[in-house]
Structure 1
């Protein structure tokens, strides 16, 4: 593994720890895989705020629409066995559909271009107001006309992937959950993934949480719903580690996969753009495609009423990032992008050298907190409070023992001024000076703030 990847993996948890404190999110689990092997797996915060249970990497999360990628892999597996074709009208495999729905192809369902309604006329299951649809209810909805003619535009549909679950059952003669567990999940070597609830007894499971508003506090949203006929669209339960392994195996360049490389190439091929979005997103077959800066990615995201999750694969770099959060306002999208920004920065700037490595650390002032991140030929001055900590990062050129020059900074900052490390009597770095400003450790700044501002007498509780 390249040195820059190792250095990035060291910084990612430090950045996320600060993000967790700032955002006051309940919990977050991450995994990063390199060439399909998990090389970083961490958990932050709590599995349940009400009980105080700490989150671990072994806790399962509802990963919602990640399910679509597993379902798509199952469909492509059946295609490889010549048991169906992507241009088959879905009515060839499932009866009782509206004629226009029956005419839609399996490929159109996989790419969300069949024109089907997203969640039905009563989408209360996503607000936890009603159970998820059973098969009879799903079939009744699919007997109604689609919203748009097929191949009109990208139009996301959970009902469409529910229909693909019925296709799998029709073709295999097996229940969806049983077949997908045996043929995709088990063959991919995943030991912490289930197609739906309930989980085996004793399996650690996170509790979901609401946002802080409107109550001003979070409440527990259990997220233990059986999604019934929509398992193929949103039922899956997994860990960041398992998701990183599975999605890494969907890379066309992966050495091991449940699918042939031809099928994987078909899955990651852009089918439709999300035209009414500024995010430059596309959809393939059961996969979302996008970019962070100049790095392209594919993967999927998931939103349950208790958890937000996202997994991205970085083709050509053999890296996969999975971020799982257990709140309805979780930062999985922002933090997965942030991790990719960190990886990009380390690939470009390189890992620390003997000349720069002593400058590592997090330093505080009344105004802000800065991370000094040693790179190959300079020290980056990063802002861990930002979702991209390397955005407009300053640079220090090390000029001698504990001394440097700020060689790059914004016009409102300290460009061209000095920088130095200040050591205590034990030789440890105790302060950093950037320009004319002294940066302290968190403990030292906290003590200074208490001494200066927090000495007012407390009200007598009696």
Structure 2
């Protein structure tokens, strides 16, 4: 394991704690895996706003389009067994399809280049106005003409991945959920993952929630509805820990996987650029890929009524990060990228040396919170309110246990000015000075603000 990873995880947890307080999200779970082993699982907030039940890493979430990664792994497993080929027309395995749909290939379905409808002619199942599509309803959507020619561009399709599920059932002669649980989920060691609802009695489930608008408050969207013929597109129920370990196992360099290295390379390589996408992302076979701070990643995201999730693996580090949230405006996507940004800085600068390791903590002023984050031989001053907390971070050179200097700051900061800690008799820091700015521990600032509120007269010049 990289020597910097434990300290990076600790700061990521502290940063997420601030983000949860600031954004007032119901709950989230962060999981980090390295080479298939969990390094951390940390739950924040509640599983259900109505009951106030504390969220735990064991709570299961609807993880939606992560299902596509599982379904793609199932196809690759069948490919390895010689039961299909990726360039097979889907009509080779699934009957009674319109000719142009029957002609699209399995690879085109997995890469979202088959040209099919995204969700259907009338996709009200995504707003709980009708059940998710069963096979009859799915086949009715598949009877619609292609929207764009196959193999002409990447165009996301839940309907297409429903067809992948029909193919798996046709080839194996078994129900999709039964076969994939036995052949992919269980061999991957995923004890908290099921292909769809319902889950076994007594399983801890997080409740989904709406955003605050337009009602003005969050309300429950339980998310317990089965997805029927769309289970291969969006049905899976899992935990952040299982997702981190499973996505990590698809790294071509992973030591243990249900797939060969060749299959993993094929799944995770960049098949198609996602058009009109500001993030510069690409799609593989059931995986999304991109680059952050120069590091290539792959994984997937998921959006279900009341739930948002995201998992990303960085093969360079052998690290996978997953965040699951239980509200429809959950920030799993920017939070995973924020965690990867934190990891980038720790990988670049290394774990803190003993001379700076205790220059740490969260410090407050009227203007918000600042974190001291020691790395290598320096201390970085980050802003936990930012989605990338190291953005424009000042850097301190430390010259003694209580003294230092702002060695680098942007042109609006205190570049070149002194940094100082005031310590109490027990050796605890009670005041941080960065140039002329004074920052306090949270409780000390709260005491000051409460006193100010009871006596709002302006301070006099000392």
TM-score of the pair, normalised by structure 1:
0.98
- Structure 2 distance, partners of 1:361, 1:198, is 44
In the alignment, what sits opposite 2:265?
Answer: 265
Superposition pairs of residues 2-21 of structure 1, within 5 angstroms: 2-21=2-21
In the alignment, what sits opposite 1:41?
Answer: 41
- Structure 2 distance, partners of 1:208, 1:163, is 27
Provide the secondary structure at the position in 1 that maps to 2:38.
strand
Query: Are positions 1:191 and 2:165 aligned together?
Result: no
Conserved in 1, the CA contact under 8 Å of 2:2 and 2:317?
A: no
- Structure 1 distance, partners of 2:100, 2:250, is 32
Query: Are positions 1:210 and 2:210 aligned together?
Result: yes
* 1:3 Cα offset (Å): 2.0
- Structure 2 distance, partners of 1:433, 1:270, is 48
* 1:428 Cα offset (Å): 1.0
- Structure 2 distance, partners of 1:395, 1:362, is 15
In the alignment, what sits opposite 1:247?
Answer: 247
* 1:454 Cα offset (Å): 4.1
- Encode CA deviations 1:177-225: one digit per residue, 9 max, x unaligned: 0000000000111100000000100000000000001111100011011
- Structure 2 distance, partners of 1:413, 1:330, is 33
- Encode CA deviations 1:256-310: one digit per residue, 9 max, x unaligned: 1000011001101211111211110100000001111211100000000110000
In the alignment, what sits opposite 1:78?
Answer: 78
In the alignment, what sits opposite 1:55?
Answer: 55
* 1:455 Cα offset (Å): 4.9
User: Would you say how many aligned residue pairs link Structure 1 and Structure 2?
Assistant: 456
- Encode CA deviations 1:59-111: one digit per residue, 9 max, x unaligned: 00000000000000000000000000011100011111111000000010000
Judging changes above 3 Å, is the alpha-carbon distance between structure 1 residues 35 and 215 closer, same or farther for their aligned structure 2 residues? same
Conserved in 2, the CA contact under 8 Å of 1:97 and 1:144?
A: no
Tell me how large the CA RMSD over aligned residues is.
0.9
- Structure 1 distance, partners of 2:229, 2:335, is 31
Conserved in 2, the CA contact under 8 Å of 1:313 and 1:321?
A: yes
Conserved in 1, the CA contact under 8 Å of 2:69 and 2:286?
A: yes
In the alignment, what sits opposite 2:350?
Answer: 350
- Structure 1 distance, partners of 2:46, 2:21, is 12
- Encode CA deviations 1:89-143: one digit per residue, 9 max, x unaligned: 0001111111100000001000000000000011111111111001111112112
In the alignment, what sits opposite 1:171?
Answer: 171
Conserved in 2, the CA contact under 8 Å of 1:68 and 1:286?
A: yes
Give structure 2 stretches of 5+ with no counterpart.
Answer: 457-462
* 1:334 Cα offset (Å): 0.5
- Encode CA deviations 1:313-334: one digit per residue, 9 max, x unaligned: 0012110000000000000000
- Encode CA deviations 1:18-37: one digit per residue, 9 max, x unaligned: 00000110000010001110
Superposition pairs of residues 389-428 of structure 1, within 5 angstroms: 389-428=389-428
Conserved in 2, the CA contact under 8 Å of 1:73 and 1:184?
A: yes
- Structure 2 distance, partners of 1:64, 1:246, is 15
In the alignment, what sits opposite 2:149?
Answer: 149
Query: Are positions 1:103 and 2:103 aligned together?
Result: yes
Moved more, 393-402 or 335-344: 393-402
In the alignment, what sits opposite 1:460?
Answer: none
TM-score of the pair, normalised by structure 2:
0.98
* 1:2 Cα offset (Å): 2.5
Provide the secondary structure at the position in 1 that maps to 2:399.
strand
Conserved in 2, the CA contact under 8 Å of 1:36 and 1:254?
A: yes
- Structure 1 distance, partners of 2:188, 2:350, is 34
In the alignment, what sits opposite 1:459?
Answer: none
In the alignment, what sits opposite 2:339?
Answer: 339
Conserved in 1, the CA contact under 8 Å of 2:297 and 2:314?
A: yes
Conserved in 1, the CA contact under 8 Å of 2:421 and 2:432?
A: yes
Structure 1 runs of 4+ aligned residues shifted over 4 Å read: none
- Structure 1 distance, partners of 2:450, 2:23, is 23
